């Protein structure tokens, strides 16, 4: 699996003296979208080189990462094992149903057990009980995941070099990889989670690189939640340029970025690239849970 090398760029706005472009990586499988194809590149190669049966990883019940891992492993002829933060594996959950279709074995973890996923002792026991797997952290954020994102070439828009790259930030791996791969640019992560440990994690992954900043302007009501304004922006972008966003990651981050631009946080003349990190499979989950209605779901998912 290669890193996408020819992203599509879409002009979004020219305001406050700044250009704003949306950068959408080209992917070969809709389920392995956005940053996931880059984050999984080296874990897949490592799993194959070490003779592992496949990849074992963690995620929530509607996780983009779980589905991307399942699809990527299926493409590469590997097995996949997903530990899911849920008390019960819902057979009608659209994300888990697709994971199962790609061959992923799913194991439910209570919220109490799931909170221990970073505990080395607990993780060692889990690995002993499930031998033969290459283990990848939640969200794909690890040194090998960062190495894949680092290879993205996103510095050039159709109108010339960008001065800033901006991305939604959940676990920190994409921001760290972009910072390492584009040391000459200003990197901005729009946090979509309330996580006090996130800045320290990014610092560790960035290996001393200091060309990044983390903004909390996009957190809003918290992870997995969104406002009417976030959803309205996604619908507006779809209508204006035909590109779908979702309000949990990309829509929320873009909304926060537009606010920062309007508040004058960027110098006039800045050319800003906003990286579309995918996650569109999550729209099915939002519809399934009644968080968006059928008309909104159809508007954002229609081909």
- Average pLDDT of the chain is 92
Look at residue 34 and tell me whether its pLDDT is greater than 80. no
pLDDT band, very low/low/confident/very high, at 198 (cuts 50, 70, 90)? very high
Supply the CATH number for residue 97's domain: 3.40.50.1100
Mean pLDDT of 103-113: 97
Read off the pLDDT of residues 228-260 as tens digits, 9 standing for 90 and up.
999 999 999 999 999 999 999 999 999 999 999
Residue 36 lies in a domain: no
What is the tally of structural domains in the chain?
A: 2
Whether 127 and 234 share a structural domain = no
Three-class HEC string of the chain: CCCCCCCEEEEEEEECCEEEEEEECCCCCCCCCCCHHHHCHHHHHHHHHCCCCEEEEEEECCCHHHHHHHHHHHHCCCEEEEEEECCCCCCCCHHHHHHHHCCEEEEEECHHHHCCCCCHHHHHHHHHHCCCEEECCHHHCCHHHHHHHHCCCCCEECCEECCEEEEEECCCHHHHHHHHHCCCCEEEEEECCCCCCHHHHHHHHCCCCCCEEEECCCCCCCCCCCCHHHHHHHHHHHHHHCCCCCCCCHHHHHHHHHHHHHCCCCCCCCEEEEECCCCCCHHHHHHHCCCCCHHHHHHHHCC
Q: What is the pLDDT of residue 14?
A: 75
Whether 70 and 193 share a structural domain = no
Whether 271 and 198 share a structural domain = yes
Read off the pLDDT of residues 61-95 as tens digits, 9 standing for 90 and up.
999 999 999 999 999 999 999 999 999 999 999 99
Read off the pLDDT of residues 123-179 as tens digits, 9 standing for 90 and up.
999 999 999 999 999 999 999 999 999 999 999 999 999 999 999 999 999 999 999
* pTM of the shown model: 0.93
Whether 128 and 103 share a structural domain = yes
Whether 120 and 242 share a structural domain = no
Could you list the residue range(s) of the whole structural domain that residue 164 is in? 8-30+146-301
Per-residue tokens: 244: 């779908």
Residue 140 lies in a domain: no
Q: How far apart are CA 303 and CA 292, in angstroms?
A: 18
Residue 51 lies in a domain: yes
Look at residue 196 and tell me whether its pLDDT is greater than 80. yes
Whether 83 and 216 share a structural domain = no
Residue 3 lies in a domain: no
Whether 170 and 220 share a structural domain = yes
Q: How far apart are CA 183 and CA 25, in angstroms?
A: 20
Residue 35 lies in a domain: no
Whether 152 and 288 share a structural domain = yes
Residue 270 lies in a domain: yes
pLDDT band, very low/low/confident/very high, at 302 (cuts 50, 70, 90)? confident
Whether 274 and 153 share a structural domain = yes
Whether 267 and 125 share a structural domain = no
Residue 101 lies in a domain: yes
Q: How far apart are CA 97 and CA 84, in angstroms?
A: 13
């Amino acid at each position: 699996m290669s890193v996408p090398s020819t992203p599509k760029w879409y002009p979004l706005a020219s305001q406050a003296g700044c250009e704003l472009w949306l950068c959408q990586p080209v992917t070969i499988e809709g389920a392995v979208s956005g940053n996931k194809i880059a984050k999984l590149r080296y874990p897949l190669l490592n799993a194959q080189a070490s003779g592992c049966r496949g990849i074992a990883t963690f995620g929530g019940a509607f996780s983009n990462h779980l589905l991307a891992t399942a699809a990527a492993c299926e493409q590469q002829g590997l097995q996949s094992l997903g530990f899911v933060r849920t008390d019960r594996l819902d057979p009608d959950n659209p994300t888990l149903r697709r994971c199962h279709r790609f061959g992923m074995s799913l194991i439910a973890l209570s919220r109490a057990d799931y909170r221990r996923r970073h505990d080395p002792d607990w993780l060692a026991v889990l690995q002993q009980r499930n031998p033969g797997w290459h283990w990848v952290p939640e969200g794909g954020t690890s040194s090998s995941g960062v190495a894949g994102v680092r290879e993205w070439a996103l510095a050039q828009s159709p109108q010339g070099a960008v001065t800033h790259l901006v991305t939604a930030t959940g676990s920190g791996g994409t921001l760290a990889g972009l910072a390492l791969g584009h040391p000459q640019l200003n990197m901005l992560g729009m946090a979509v989670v309330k996580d006090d440990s996130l800045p320290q994690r990014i610092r560790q992954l960035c290996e001393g690189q200091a060309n990044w900043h983390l903004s909390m302007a996009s957190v809003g009501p918290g992870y997995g939640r969104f406002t009417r304004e976030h959803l309205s922006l996604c619908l507006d972008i779809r209508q204006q340029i035909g590109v779908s966003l979702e309000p949990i990651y990309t829509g929320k981050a873009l909304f926060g970025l537009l606010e920062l631009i309007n508040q004058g946080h960027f110098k006039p003349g800045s050319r800003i690239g906003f990286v579309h990190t995918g996650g569109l499979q999550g729209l099915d989950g939002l519809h399934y849970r009644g968080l968006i209605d059928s008309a909104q779901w159809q508007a954002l998912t229609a081909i």
